[in-house]
Chain A
């Protein structure tokens, strides 16, 4: 009796040392070995901790622990003016920051009943796609690193720099553009920018070719990703997975193509990559195709870019009339939306930030059990999340 009690107390102590209130870990229940992954792990793009219980080489239970980067943006947005909120949103998904601004600004424009001029919409769309390329290029290289190939991330960071340079020369910021304004954009494109972009796009496509040759056609890469981490279509939908993760599970859904939007996607022809394989390789392949399609969208839009003003008439002090709306766009990581409620104030009454990564990784407890421990990193990195996007 006494020994059992001490054992239990020892386990309780271990528990309290190992975990905090966010984890439900029953160490005493069975003999599984507990493996703690992170929070500092290169595969997590930030600080995510994953606690898994192993039976030999197989995962029997897994729980992601997030919150290490929680910055409380929903609360902070309530005490900032609408233009100030925008600076917070840049920092949600920091690899594709431009894309975070757009749905929020669109929501505010909807409530204000103003619409940005045609040229501003086109420029927004071009920069949105550049943000997508910059974001997904990191994934295309980084996925190689998670599987032990060191060259792809170097190539990715080398070539992404060209895209970041373009974003910087147009917006002034490499990572945090703060370029969207209610009713338009900050300023017009710099001279010679369009030619620069058109010269860079073949470079991005060459990078995609390199990645295809190095990783997608690589025997080792294929055997380590094919059939690993299969997420069925119905599971993906009920967890709210979106973006490339959903399309790799056979869900043919892309908001750029399927929803009416003031943005300029309707003026470009592009394909939406869908795969029915639903495994890690499919998720890689879908994003590879997506980057190529994005370069094509940018080229089509820039060759027909309309002239005109870039800013609609908006009052200097933005006071939004009462109303509530939800706007979402197809961001690099998935569907990102803002539920904005205004109560006739200078700052929003409530902003609910619906981030794609939060839903995308909530599927992990359902997917990881049954997998080999060596496939853990493959699955985690193929789901591709940014921790700022999970924790908000």
Chain B
């Protein structure tokens, strides 16, 4: 079930090949877990953004590999907590509790949609056709996803990194040890509610320059040549 099949006036040969890649992935996935496994998808060029259910996360990896996406590019996560305090414009205030309920419905930002605070995201590609799949899945409150290491061996380190940066567990991974940070480190740095200590100690020096700038909406003049 696809929400957005990019309407192409005259599909080029590359475009046809890319669409075939997505079709073969969808077919492989529906063979594994049944129809309607693809919750949403959108395409731009030969990159396909596909959202699946977290229960089908492991099957999606297998289907992608079977469909020729042999190359593992990366696996990571997204924290969609809206936190304007961390947007570079203000200093994060630890006393200010972030909102409990999270509603981010902006489909432009969330390619292929989704509604949970945390999403896992992974990219695989086909080295022969250059088509790429960017798979996402919404995480439930237990923040656990099935591991990909049995399908793509390279997911091992990426899952370790995601675990320490976002606190997301990967069931079946074996050894989710920290990879960058020391074992004593507390917290998950890439979460949006993790305050950057240096921003608390000292306000952003770049902030001063930003506010001095004219705040004209129709500032159409180009940069200085």
Contact = CB atoms under 8 A, between A and B. Distances in A.
A317 B177 CA distance: 41
Chief secondary structure at chain B's binding surface: loop
27 contacts: A21-B183, A67-B182, A70-B180, A74-B165, A75-B190, A76-B196, A78-B87, A79-B196, A81-B210, A234-B70, A237-B70, A239-B153, A240-B72, A240-B74, A315-B219, A315-B220, A315-B223, A316-B213, A316-B219, A323-B109, A335-B73, A337-B123, A339-B76, A339-B121, A342-B109, A345-B89, A359-B72
B154 A240 contact: yes
Given A316-B223, A339-B121, A359 B154 contact: yes
Chain B CB within 10 A, most for which of A70, A181, A342: A70
A304 B113 CA distance: 45
Interface in B152-168: 152-154, 156-157, 165
Interface stretch (A161-169, A190-198, A218-226, A348-356): A348-356
B189 interface: yes
Interface in A73-90: 74-76, 78-81, 84
Interface of B: 45, 47, 70-74, 76, 78-79, 82, 86-89, 106, 108-111, 121, 123, 127, 130, 132, 134, 151-154, 156-157, 165, 175, 177-184, 189-190, 194, 196, 199, 204, 206, 210, 213, 219-223, 225
Contact of A79 (B82, B86, B175): B86
A384 to B, nearest CB: 17
Contact of B87 (A181, A309, A345): A345
Chief secondary structure at chain A's binding surface: loop
A3 B189 CA distance: 43
Contacts of A20: 182-183
Given A21-B177, A75-B196, A240-B74, A347 B222 contact: no
Contacts of A366: 153
A171 to B, nearest CB: 18
Interface residues of A, number: 66
Contacts of A363: 154
Contacts of B76: 339, 352
A347 B111 contact: no
Interface stretch (A207-215, A251-259, A370-378): A251-259
Chain B CB within 10 A, most for which of A240, A258, A363, A366: A240
A111 to B, nearest CB: 10
Contact of A66 (B109, B179, B196): B179
A54 to B, nearest CB: 21
B191 to A, nearest CB: 10
Interface in A313-333: 313-317, 321-324, 326, 328
B212 to A, nearest CB: 11
Contacts of A67: 178-182
A311 interface: yes
Contacts of A339: 74, 76, 121, 123
